[in-house]
Chains A and B, each alone.
Chain A
Amino acid sequence: MHCYRTKARLAALSFLLAATLSAQTANAVEATVKGPVTVRRGEDLQVPVDVRVKKGLHINSHQPEDKYYIPLRITWDSSLAEARGTQFPEPSRQQFAFSEGKALSVFDGAFQFQQHFHVKPNATRGFGAITGKLTYQACNDKECFPPSTAPVRVTLDVR
Chain B
Amino acid sequence: MAAAGAVAAGFTSCTGGGGSAPATLKAEADRNEAPDFSLVDAGGQTVKLSELKGKVVLLNFWATWCAPCRIEIPWFVDMEREFKDQGFAVVGVSMDEDGWEVVKPFISDMKVNYRMVLGTEELAQLYSGVQALPTSFVIDRNGRIASTHMGIVSRSVFEEEIRALLQNKGTSGGA
**Which residue numbers of A lie inside 8 Å of B, CB to CB?**
3-4, 6-7, 10, 13-14, 17-18, 21-22, 24-25, 56, 66, 68-70, 96-100, 104, 137, 139-147
Contact = CB atoms under 8 A, between A and B. Distances in A.
A97 B63 CA distance: 18
29 contacts: A3-B23, A4-B174, A6-B10, A6-B14, A7-B23, A7-B174, A10-B7, A14-B4, A18-B131, A18-B150, A21-B132, A22-B131, A25-B131, A68-B102, A98-B67, A99-B67, A100-B71, A139-B67, A140-B2, A142-B2, A142-B4, A142-B5, A142-B68, A142-B151, A143-B133, A143-B150, A144-B133, A146-B63, A146-B133
Given A140-B1, A144-B63, A3 B71 contact: no
Nearest to A99: B67
Nearest to A102: B67
Nearest to A22: B131
A143 B8 CA distance: 14
Nearest to A70: B65
Contacts, number: 98
Contacts of A97: 68, 152
A4 B175 contact: yes
A104 to B, nearest CB: 7
B95 interface: yes
Nearest to B71: A98
A137 B23 CA distance: 33
Given A6-B10, A7-B11, A142-B2, A69 B132 contact: no
B64 interface: yes
Contact of B1 (A68, A104, A142): A142
B112 to A, nearest CB: 14
A139 B150 CA distance: 13
B129 interface: yes
A104 B151 CA distance: 18
Given A17-B4, A98-B152, A140-B1, 9 more contacts: A6-B14, A22-B131, A69-B65, A98-B70, A99-B67, A141-B2, A142-B1, A143-B68, A144-B66
